[in-house]
Amino acid sequence: MMHVDLSQITSTLDLRDIEDEGTPALIARGAAYAREYARIEDKPAILAANIAVVVLALRKKHDDWRGLSKPYRDDVGALYSASGVSGEQLKRLKGNVRYHVGNLARRYLTPRELRALSLDDASPLEKQQDRRATTAAILRATNASVEAAASAPAKSSKTKGMAAGEEERVPEQRSPGIVVKATADQLRLATVAASLVIQLDPDEVDNMADGQRDKLEEELAAIENAARRLRRTLKKRSSEA
């Protein structure tokens, strides 16, 4: 079996480096890479989380859970300096460690302690999940809007022979199946619209600049007006039934 020196892996292969190898050698090479990938797949995340625990222990020693004091910062700086990691790699590592520190702090500190430190109750992981949920809701809204537009009746045409200035609209004839699809799409629109509004966070709204608040006020007023018009339609149909 061909031996692949994985210690020499410092960059991506070039096809020209291995194109003359035989099929058994290529299979052996690929299998070796796959085994190494499986061996180290979770290690970067585990190591970053372990560094975060060390950083959190330093914060506890300095009684500095926010990590703002100079003695604490000096110790953390010494940690990274002793590691020998530098440049973009160090920047990525610090970002990953900060993410884990934020999650771990909210595991060890009570909500009261977090508030006393002016820290959010929500962890970075929870905020990430909220952002993903918001993105997914926006995507659902976009898809629902496209489908609703596609299933909506086309604009009715003007009847021939009408006098100038007079118009009579002829309703489009649609099959029952298309009507059912169109009404279902409208209900989907209402569902995703509600899910988007519900996700508006009062705490984040409180952080908005004045111009942002004014714009949000306009958008909410438009939502309220649209909701009132739809409710009037619903009440009208209910009274006619």
Beta-carbon count within 10 A of 185 CB: 18
> What's the pTM value of the predicted model, to 2 decimals?
0.49
pLDDT of residue 14: 81
* pLDDT recorded at residue 151: 62
Distance CA 153, CA 226 (A): 20
Q: What is the pLDDT of residue 79?
A: 94
Q: What is the pLDDT of residue 123?
A: 56
Output the tens digit of pLDDT for each of the chain's 241 residues: 556 666 666 677 888 888 888 888 888 888 888 888 888 888 888 899 999 999 999 998 999 888 889 999 999 999 999 999 999 999 999 988 988 888 888 888 777 887 887 777 665 655 565 556 666 666 766 776 666 666 666 555 454 455 555 555 555 566 666 667 777 777 777 877 777 777 777 777 887 888 888 888 988 888 888 888 888 888 877 776 6
Q: What is the pLDDT, as a whole number, of residue 137?
A: 62
> What DSSP letter does each residue of 185-225 carry, written as one string?
HHHHHHHHHHHHHHT--HHHHHT--HHHHHHHHHHHHHHHH
Number of H helices, E strands in the chain: 10, 2
- ∠ CA 190-193-199 to the nearest 5 degrees? 140
pLDDT at 73: 93
